[in-house]
Structure 1
Amino acid sequence: MQNSIRNSTISTTMEISENVEVGKLIGRGGRNIKPIERGTGTCIYINTKVNPRQIEIKINKDYKFKDENISLWEWINKAICQIDNLLEDIEVRNRKKDIEKEKNNSRISDN
């Protein structure tokens, strides 16, 4: 994970595992990422043109939050935690699908 502070934004990046499908991460119409952005005041960008693929989380330093007692880095960390949970959910679902495929393949080979 890399952090940076530019003129008007604070940002960090995190890597995306090879076995995570970006479409599932984003969700149809952004339904997975947009609520995280709205809830944390961040902008989330998925960069698939680099290897390994990355998620960049940015927040405007001038953004005013309802709860001003929370620092900008805390909002970024909240977004990171929510993205981590989302990635974990995707990986669990992928493992379940793999197990189901193995079961189906073993049934076919038994016949």
Structure 2
Amino acid sequence: LRCFVGKAKEQSFMQLTDEEIVEVAMRDLHKTMTLRQEPDFYRVTRLQNAIPYVVGHQAWAQDVSEKVGASLPGVILAGASYGGVGVPDCIDQGKKAVSQLIEMVLPGK
């Protein structure tokens, strides 16, 4: 799972230790998921006043998607890692992925 902690205009979380940030994330996850154990590992990356993309990300994501699609037909990459970190972006990507899959299985529908 990838979790984002904090928000752009409130950066106090940047002062927390990695362990405290994982605690915050786990507390939030427990509210919506039935998790019964702690993570086997974690990595905390601090991105102050930034989103987790670098210059060239769109080209990279397109290249990866094309390679995956060519080698694994029916697998479509979608989510915050590929085309937008916001919930609306992720919903749009999910809808587009479903449409693409339906077109693969039932052309013209």
Same fold (TM over 0.5): no
Normalising by structure 1, report the TM-score: 0.29
Q: Give the structure, 1 or 2, with the largest relative contact order (CA under 8 Å, sep 6 or more).
A: 1
Structure (1/2) with the larger strand percentage: 1
